[in-house]
Amino acid sequence: MEEVDKILIHALRQVGTEVSEEVVSVKHFTSELIVEAVVRCMRVIDPGLGGGLPTSLPPGMSARFRVGMSLAQACQDIGYKGEIGYQTFLYSNEPEIRSLFMFLVEKLPRESAETSDQPTGKSAVLQRAIAAAIKAQLAVSWVPPNCRLPLHCETQSQGALHSFRVQPISLPRCTKGSGKKHLKEVKDYHRDHLPPVTAQFSTHSSMVASMLEQHMAELSAAQEWDNEWKSQGLLSRLTPQEYRSRKLTRLRKRIEEQLRSAAVPSPESAFGVSRSTSDLSELLQTFRGSAPSDHILTKGTHFTHTQKFTFTQEAAAVTSAVLPTRQSEGDTQLRQQEELASLQQQFQQLCDDVDQLAADMKHMSVTNAQVLDELKQRELGNTGKEEKMQVKKKTNDLLPDADDNLLKLQSVVEASAKRVVNLASQWEKHRAPLIDEHRRLKEICSSQDLESSRKLSEIKTLHEKIRVATEEAKKKEETYKQLVTELESLPQDVSRSAYTQRILEIVNNIKKQKEEITKILSDTKELQKEINSLTGKLDRTFAVTDELVFKDAKKDESVRKSYKYLAALHENCNQLIQTIEDTGTILREIRDLEEQIETENSNKTVANLERILDDYKAIRQENSALAAKVREG
């Protein structure tokens, strides 16, 4: 049992129970230590159930009884089938506590499940301590700064809260595939001009948020590229660089098309016909349409330049004529207003003329485009008609000598037919091997497609296996580092070989005990068989002897006495055998009683009775004190 108790104590220490080094067996556990160990195990097994249980016994006896009943009910809820009650925790005995701890340790989650949820690595201990400190701070309710006590001031920061504001940051990166000169310039910029990350923010409070945002954006971009490459990049059968360049080319081409379509006004838009455009076209159209369409700078013709020059000269002449008149007449306000109104009216008239000319130009450009399209269609029609006319002209030239031309035409047709037949025979000679070659190449292509599809699926499967193996290798590497750290923190005075030797000795002892038990059982079976055979032989011998002696007893008086002695001897022997069996039964009962006495002695019955009496007296005192308070109230 010592080895079992050491294993149990080690497991209880793993779940957080503070078991001192002096405690080496379950029989040394006090009631407070038993309650703490059970509650710690319950919180690991079922946090919802064990979260409301206290880890220590209260001072009052009635409260202790309630805690004991709560613990007993919780153990039954998680599946404990043994006999349990408040007395198990308050007046414990060694076998019951050992069986309870064995059940709880078996219910604890495996180490693999714990290590998968907890951080691993060299800093695992530090991370656990940080997590425990954060949990303790989160358990304290938040209080406004004006209402905080000294306890809250220690756990809750006095600093002001800041909103999550992000600013763009620039990080030095090494670009691949660039020239040495470009790479040197980038390095020089990073070394001489790029400020540190901490100096790129307008406010210090946005530094953490910006760095988190930057890191999350990079991670999401890498994950999106990985997913896109596995789903579409592998199917394209291109290298990652070729796939990226092709995607960039298509994106540039699309942007150029959208910019071109947005920059050139369509004919439908001139007549007010609405058409569906893409999102980029609509966005660019909004930028174009932010100002009136008449104010857009377009390439002017000689007529528009002449009109603008004439308008400028007229405006200058009017201005030069008005200025001396106005100066000569004393710059009266009424004249100024009239002149201003007339000038505005002229300017408005000129603007209307310009707008009308612009509309006419748009209409003429549309008409010109339509005329050009119609001209192209007519040119195409004329070309077809010219070809037909040439055929008819040649036919008319052949009509005067129709018979000779007909004979010549028939000879040409026959020669063409023979030539066609000859070419067909030659083509058939070449066609058969070409068709066979085409079918063979087609089969090879289909087989290569199947093979490439199969290899592509295998590549995807290998990618997934590589990812899973990489994650598993990382987990194992971190687990290895954690185990190495824990091994370094363990005491080095005890070697692994000593524990292994002790385990092997325990296994050998168990094997020897099993062999001895098997040997004793086999000896017992042999003895039982021998006893049964002797008993049967004895019964048969007595029956034969009884029959023979009974026959002679009718004739001889001495034989009759011998028969009586024989019956008495048989009865005495039966009584002796029964006495021996009763003696064996009594000895077994004595041994059972001795074992019960030892068990009761190990249960500390006398000490428990004394504790029960002391607790009974304490409860009576509490009841009397409560009754006195009630009477006083």
What is the SS3 assignment for 69-83? HHHHHHHHHCCCCCC
Question: What number of other Cβ atoms are within 10 A of residue 19's Cβ?
Answer: 17
Backbone φ and ψ of 524, nearest 5°: -60, -40
Residue 310's SS3 state is helix
Question: What tens digit of pLDDT does each residue of 106-163 get?
Answer: 888 765 334 434 444 445 667 776 777 777 777 767 777 667 666 566 556 655 556 6
pLDDT reading at 302 higher than 60: no
Which of 1, 2, 15, 3 minimizes the C-alpha distance to 105? Answer: 15
For residue 61, give the nearest of 614, 609, 627 by alpha carbon: 614
Q: If you average pLDDT over residues 213-240, what whole number do you get?
A: 84
Q: Which residues contact 399 (CB under 8 A, 6 or more apart)?
A: none
**Inter-helix orientation angle 605-632/61-77, to 10°:** 120
DSSP state of 195: P
Can you read off the two tokens belonging to residue 20? Answer: 């001192």
pLDDT by residue (tens digit) across 252-298?
Answer: 888 888 887 776 554 444 444 444 445 555 555 554 444 444 444 44
Q: What is the pLDDT of residues 129-141, one digit of tens each?
A: 677 777 777 776 7
Position 285 scores a pLDDT of 54
pLDDT at 195: 85
Q: How many CA atoms lie within 13 A of 24 on its CB side?
A: 3
Contacts of 161 by beta carbon, 8 Å cutoff, 6+ apart: none
Does residue 400 carry a pLDDT above 80?
A: no
Contact between residue 35 and residue 67 where contact means Cβ atoms under 8 Å apart? yes
Confidence (pLDDT) at 299: 43
Q: Find the mean pLDDT for residues 441-455.
A: 88
Q: How far are the Cα atoms of 28, 91, 602, 603, 613 from residue 607, in angstroms, in the given order?
A: 14, 9, 10, 9, 10
Report whether pLDDT(100) > 70. Answer: yes
Query: Is the overall model pTM greater than 0.75, yes or no?
Result: no
pLDDT the model gives residue 469 = 92
Q: Whose CA is closest to 104, among 54, 44, 47?
A: 44
Distance from C-alpha of 307 to C-alpha of 473, rounded to nearest angstrom? 81
21-36 average pLDDT score:
83
Other Cβ atoms within 10 Å of 67 Cβ, number: 21
Choose among 318, 307, 380, 294: nearest CA to 350: 307
Asked if 608 contacts 94 with a C-beta cutoff of 8 angstroms, the reply is no
- Amino acid identity of residue 622, one-letter, is E
Q: CA 258 to CA 567: how far, in whole Å?
A: 128
The label of the residue with tokens 């007339």 reads 342
Highest average pLDDT, of 347-356, 404-413, 514-523, comes from 514-523
| pLDDT mean over 511-537 | 90
Name the band, by pLDDT with cuts 50, 70 and 90, for residue 303. very low
Question: What does the domain layout of the chain look like in residue ranges?
Answer: 2-155, 180-262, 291-392, 401-487, 501-602
